[in-house]
Amino acid sequence: MKRITVIPGDGIGKEVMQAAMLVLEELNLPFEYVWMEAGDEAYEKYGKALPDETLEECKKSDAVLFGAAGETAADVIVRLRFELETFANIRPAKSYRGVKCLYDGVDIVIVRENTECLYKGLEFEVAEGVTEGIRVITRKGSERIARFAFELARREGRKKVTALHKANVMKKTCGLFRDVCREVARDYSDIEFNDYYIDAACMYLVMDPHRFDVIVTTNMFGDIVSDLAAGLVGGLGMAPSANIGERHAIFEPVHGSAPDIAGKGIANPSAMILTAVMMLRHFGYLDEAARVEKALEEVIVEGRTTPDLGGNLKTMEMAQEVVNKLKE
């Protein structure tokens, strides 16, 4: 029995979580779901965006399934990543049939280091009108994420790993990351390796995304480039993610709480459903994951979708269509 902490969070997080749970429960797997609160509404109720009870439950669970947080995102999901030591953020960018994409046949996995870089939040005001932020990159963190990327490539039968950095300017921090990636690559002679400056990589992603297979990069660069990649394949509504550590895992869609459409029942549940697919694969339920992914794609191809994908269904109606496909 796998114990999963479910945190719907704020805005459309509640709606897409309900949709994903409808799909998961159809599979009738040995999962125990424990529902907890976190986010803006939790802050208003308890004075903490991530209540102590929620954090403790997350630490006891095999995985966390998270919806979205609003203004308190940094206090919730960023803190959870650090508290649970989920050092690898996995963000696929895949073009699905039926989705209006800039390119067909894109299938990229971005592996983002999740615990270092500027996102450690070491910012200071050193004088009036003068602030500074400290960027932390370590050999340990760089080697761990680089090896994770190569192992993922090998496990999924992928052929190439590309490291992104800016070592020509940030010679110490990015220089260390680049050098460690190159060192790790020598242990994986079966997988092609190269590296690009982050600015050039953004251009290549827009002009020729098929040159990429697995991307490994630092925390902030990974955050930025994964949203860019999502734009190639239909937007954040099609962007799932996983945060993986040695003992814990957090699964969350890349999109935020989308307050502009929250409560309207029209949020695209695809990213949340694909996030659940990533959780299924993490636990070894490969057949079930493939079934859900195929069912979702068929629903999209048939146009039984929310308005952002060209359909006219509500969030839960689209989720029910996926369930109907699974029953077939």
48 part of the active site: no
3-class secondary structure, 57: helix
CA–CA separation, 92 vs 213, rounded Å? Answer: 10
Q: Dump pLDDT digits (tens) for 1-13.
A: 999 999 999 999 9
Which of 14, 166, 314, 325 is an active site residue?
A: 166
Amino acid sitting at position 113: E
Residues in a beta bridge with 57? none
CA 270, 16, 99 angle in degrees (round to 5)?
A: 20
2 part of the active site: no
How far from chain centre, in Å, is Cα 289? 16
Q: Dump pLDDT digits (tens) for 177-232.
A: 999 999 999 999 999 999 999 999 999 999 999 999 999 999 999 999 999 999 99
pLDDT at residue 119, rounded to an integer: 85
Which of 62, 179, 227, 308 is an active site residue?
A: 227
pLDDT at residue 302, rounded to an integer: 97
Which helix (H) or strand (E) segment is 85 a member of? none
Tell me whether the CATH fold assigned to 1-89+239-328 matches the one assigned to 102-232.
Answer: yes
Q: How much of the chain exceeds pLDDT 90, in percent? A: 97
pLDDT at residue 242, rounded to an integer: 98
Query: What confidence category does residue 102 fall into, taking pLDDT thresholds of 50, 70 and 90?
Result: very high
Which of 119, 195, 196, 314 is an active site residue?
A: 119
Q: Dump pLDDT digits (tens) for 298-310.
A: 999 999 999 999 9
Mean pLDDT throughout 38-63? Answer: 97
Q: Are 72 and 80 in contact (CB under 8 A)?
A: no
**1-89+239-328: CATH, from 2.130.10.10, 3.40.718.10, 3.30.1360.120, 3.40.50.280:** 3.40.718.10
Mean pLDDT throughout 83-112? Answer: 96
Q: Could you say which architecture CATH assigns to the domain 102-232?
A: 3-Layer(aba) Sandwich (3.40)
Query: What confidence category does residue 121 fall into, taking pLDDT thresholds of 50, 70 and 90?
Result: confident
pLDDT at residue 127, rounded to an integer: 94
213 part of the active site: no
pLDDT at residue 74, rounded to an integer: 87
Domain ranges for the chain: 1-89+239-328, 102-232
Mind giving me the DSSP string for 255-283?
S---TTTTTSS----HHHHHHHHHHHHHT
Query: What confidence category does residue 317 fall into, taking pLDDT thresholds of 50, 70 and 90?
Result: very high
Regarding predicted confidence, which is higher, 123 or 201?
201
Which of 10, 40, 195, 223 is an active site residue?
A: 223
Query: What confidence category does residue 290 fall into, taking pLDDT thresholds of 50, 70 and 90?
Result: very high
Which helix (H) or strand (E) segment is 73 a member of? helix 73-73
Average pLDDT of every residue of the chain: 96
Half-sphere exposure of 119 (CA within 13 A, CB side): 22
pLDDT at residue 10, rounded to an integer: 96
Is residue 78 predicted with pLDDT exceeding 90?
no
187 part of the active site: no
52 part of the active site: no
Q: Dump pLDDT digits (tens) for 132-191.
A: 999 999 999 999 999 999 999 999 999 999 999 999 999 999 999 999 999 999 999 999
Q: Are 192 and 145 in contact (CB under 8 A)?
A: no
Which helix (H) or strand (E) segment is 119 a member of? none
Nearest to 309 by CA among 317, 321, 300, 299: 300
pLDDT at residue 120, rounded to an integer: 83
Mean pLDDT throughout 53-77? Answer: 95
pLDDT at residue 53, rounded to an integer: 97
Please give the sequence-ordered ranges of beta strands (E in DSSP) within the chain, or none if there are none.
Answer: 2-9, 31-35, 63-68, 88-94, 107-113, 123-127, 130-133, 160-165, 192-197, 214-217, 242-244, 249-251
pLDDT at residue 292, rounded to an integer: 98
Which helix (H) or strand (E) segment is 224 a member of? helix 219-232
